[in-house]
Amino acid sequence: MEPVDLAVSALHPSVDDPALNSMNFLNEVAQHYPDAVSLAAGRPYEEFFDSAVLHEHLDAFRRHLADDLGLSRAQVDRALLQYGRTKGIVHHLIARNLAVDERLTVDPEAIVVTVGCQEAMFLVLRALRAGPRDVLLAVAPTYVGLTGAARLVDLPVRPVGGGPDGIDLADLRAQVHRARAEGLRPRACYVMPDFANPSGVRMDLAQRRRLLDLAAEEDLLLIEDNPYGLFPAAGAERLPTLKALDTRRRVVYLGSFAKTVLPGARVGYVVADQRVAGSDGTVGPLADQLAKIKSMVTVNTSPVSQAVIGGALLAHDCSLVAATARERAAYARNLRHLADGLARRFPAGGPVRWNVPAGGFFVVVTVPFGVDDALLHRSAREYGVLWTPMAHFYDAGAPVNALRLSVSAVTPEEIDVGLDRLAALITDELAAVGAPA
Ligand SMILES: Cc1ncc(COP(=O)(O)O)c(C=O)c1O
What's the confidence (pLDDT) of residue 396? 75
Q: What is the Cα 99 distance to its own chain's centre?
A: 21
Put residue 235 in one of left, alpha, beta given phi > 0 → left and psi -120 to 50 → alpha.
left
Name the residue among 45, 20, 29, 30 with its Cα closest to residue 409: 45
Please work out whether the CB of residue 229 comes within 6 Å of at least one atom of ligand 1.
no
Rounded to the nearest 5 percent, the helix, strand and coil shares of the chain are 45, 15, 40
Write the DSSP string, 228-251: STT-BPTTPPP---HHHH-SSS-E
Q: What is the pLDDT along the chain (437 residues), one digit of tens a residue?
A: 788 999 999 999 999 998 888 888 888 888 999 999 999 989 998 989 999 999 999 999 999 999 999 999 999 999 999 999 999 999 999 999 999 999 999 999 999 999 999 999 999 999 999 999 999 999 999 999 999 999 999 999 999 999 999 999 999 999 999 999 999 999 999 999 999 999 999 999 999 999 999 999 999 999 999 999 999 998 899 999 999 999 999 999 999 999 999 999 999 999 999 999 988 899 999 999 999 999 999 999 999 999 999 999 999 999 999 999 999 999 999 999 999 999 999 999 999 999 999 999 999 999 999 999 999 999 999 999 999 999 999 987 777 999 999 999 999 999 999 999 999 999 999 999 887 76
Three-state secondary structure call for residue 186: strand
Please work out whether the CB of residue 226 comes within 6 Å of at least one atom of ligand 1.
no
**Count of Cβ atoms closer than 10 Å to residue 399 Cβ:** 15
Q: How far is the centre of ligand 1, averaged over its atoms, from the C-alpha of 118 (Å)?
A: 6
Tell the residue nearest (CA) to atom 4 of ligand 1: 117
Write the DSSP string, 18-37: HHHHHHHHHHHHHHH-TTSE
Q: Is the pTM of this model over 0.85?
A: yes
Buried b (16+ CB within 10 A) or exposed e, 421-437: bbbbbbeebbeeeeeee
Question: To 10 degrees, the CA torsion angle through 268, 273, 275, 279?
Answer: 20
Q: Report strand pairing: 134-140 vs 37-38.
A: unpaired
Please work out whether the CB of residue 406 comes within 6 Å of at least one atom of ligand 1.
no
Which helix (H) or strand (E) segment is 111 a member of? strand 111-114
- Amino acid identity of residue 154, one-letter, is D
Backbone phi, then psi, for 105, in 5-degree steps? -95, 115
Kindly give the number of the ligand 1 atom that is closest to the alpha carbon of 192. 1
Name the residue of 117, 146, 309 whose CB sits within 8 Å of the most ligand 1 atoms, as the mutation to test its pocket.
117
